[in-house]
Structure 1
């Protein structure tokens, strides 16, 4: 096998009280040393059933935190549970069966272990599966597992519902800055916005105080809509501290990504976040990254650029932005 998967490393490490050195973060990153222990400010929770208050609540949370949780979002519980069930079962398959879906050089889609270049050659304690779920024209079914049998059906059903949530979030974010509701969505490509699903699989880790599942980053998408399993692990950086995000059953976690920060010329902030791991339990999450197509040009909207407020970001094709981000090059 060409790549050693973290799931395999974890099963070997379970007898030990240690992990391979390439997974041990430097001291300024270790969650055991850098997680805030004290009164934790409440990450906003927004009830989408309260139609009158949604725009104000979303706008305030997006400016203040860049991240919030939504409840009563309209996605049936059974649809989410089925998405999680088939995703979990995929990672329980024999290794050789998962390798059929391994990533290829020209794409990030597929089953993999390491995504970005890391300083000091460090590695994150995570395996993943990426594939597009919308629009139909962007889907490459070779990266959609055929086993478990209902995998494809569950993902198609979830895509249908998550599209509606995306529309509501983009509309609220537009209205909250005094724009017409359709402006952000249109600036991101309208019906051609791509939805990329990722399943993160974080195996149990003997030294969760030393390792990270995903290192500190902002998402390059416009927004990210994420459902976790019941094992907490998301941390948000705010006011110079790393705070744990509370697990809320049946909530969707909304991340503001880089493209919304760019379109708003910095009025909304892309959230810096990371993932910790658990000593006894598997943590999993299902983020959907809502992004423009590669060829779409994105820059600050003219409504937010003036003499007093010049453009803070370059206008460029999304594929060029992605290339710089993944290769840690200046934007």
Structure 2
């Protein structure tokens, strides 16, 4: 298997050695049932307390009646399918490493000395009108479709933050000035001949305030709960919200950012669109002063978000390029 191709270029009957992860990360039980314990929240009818409880106990919940039109969600997923199905991406120059967005083949996604079973697209989304022309221009509808999707996800994120503010006792609009830096991460997980040997994503916590995930119609996401991995089911037209580690810090530990990973499937491909709602690059991240007192001292030190991104190599091998793009685009608003 050559390393200069993406996974979908091959029909292999085995997992190549450089994709086999260490035993400590291998999924031990791929037959665990889909869990019904992940909270499902109707944003039009569910009491605020349930949202706060889900954020505290799970760090993950699914939302329905969230306001993002079904057509907008489907259009976004369809255009991503077109994007990942385009042939000869690198040879044609359609998709490549650039100053403002990155397409990563599986062969570039080296973690723990091995490669992840996924292809991946990343790009900033804020400020939106300045970012749109910098996105991929193929498929031809990509920019229009994804822009429409990002607008709706932004509205949803503001709604989630408003509820969290009420639940924590923070001033309304507390997150308005620090949650503008949206970042899109789209993934393609091809069928894998032996899902027990590899992963689409290693266990991690998101470096965001919140992440809004459109997982389409296929399972694969797993969340760590009480030391065990549980499968997150697919609910039609639902979106997954997970608490990022930046929100855990701002809440002074009241809300939880939890580990999650992606397993692969033998006969089914999976595509997802994650929108990370991040602090602004120069934002000072620290526990909210309203949540700190003598009985509840700050559990975390203050830091500048862009320093966190660079120190933790949030964007992997492309962190340097992305911190520059992240700052340049966001500061141009």
Give the TM-score, by structure 2 length. Answer: 0.87
Measured in 1, the distance between the counterparts of 2:7 and 2:117 equals: 6
Measured after TM superposition, the shift of residue 181 of structure 1 is: 2.7
Conserved? CA contact 2:181–2:279, under 8 Å: yes
Q: Report the RMSD for the aligned CA atoms in angstroms.
A: 2.3
Alignment partner, residue 19 of structure 1: 15
2:44 aligned with 1:49 = yes
Distance 1:224 1:39, change over 3 A: closer
Measured after TM superposition, the shift of residue 118 of structure 1 is: 2.6
Alignment partner, residue 26 of structure 2: 30
Conserved? CA contact 1:36–1:241, under 8 Å: no
In the comparison of the two structures, how many residue pairs are matched? 312
Alignment partner, residue 167 of structure 2: 176
Alignment partner, residue 268 of structure 1: 255
What does residue range 213-232 of structure 1 map to in structure 2 within 5 Å? 213-232=200-219
Identify which of 106, 117, 122 aligns with 1:125: 117
What does residue range 131-170 of structure 1 map to in structure 2 within 5 Å? 131-136=123-128, 139=131, 141-142=133-134, 144-170=135-161
- Which structure 1 segments of 5+ residues have no match? none
SS in 2 for 1:185: coil
SS in 2 for 1:176: helix
Alignment partner, residue 91 of structure 1: 84
Measured in 2, the distance between the counterparts of 1:203 and 1:36 equals: 19
Conserved? CA contact 1:132–1:197, under 8 Å: yes
SS in 2 for 1:244: strand
Distance 1:292 1:137, change over 3 A: farther
What does residue range 310-325 of structure 1 map to in structure 2 within 5 Å? 310-325=297-312
Distance 1:36 1:178, change over 3 A: farther
- Which structure 2 segments of 5+ residues have no match? 317-333
Measured after TM superposition, the shift of residue 286 of structure 1 is: 0.3
Runs of 4+ with >4 A deviation? 114-117
Alignment partner, residue 5 of structure 1: 6
SS in 2 for 1:220: coil
2:186 aligned with 1:195 = no
Identify which of 265, 274, 278 aligns with 1:287: 274
Identify which of 103, 118, 127 aligns with 1:111: 103
2:308 aligned with 1:308 = no
List per-residue Cα deviations over 1:63-91 (Å, max 9, x = no partner).
00000000011111111111111110011
SS in 1 for 2:295: coil
Distance 1:117 1:265, change over 3 A: farther
Measured in 1, the distance between the counterparts of 2:184 and 2:259 equals: 20
Measured after TM superposition, the shift of residue 99 of structure 1 is: 4.7
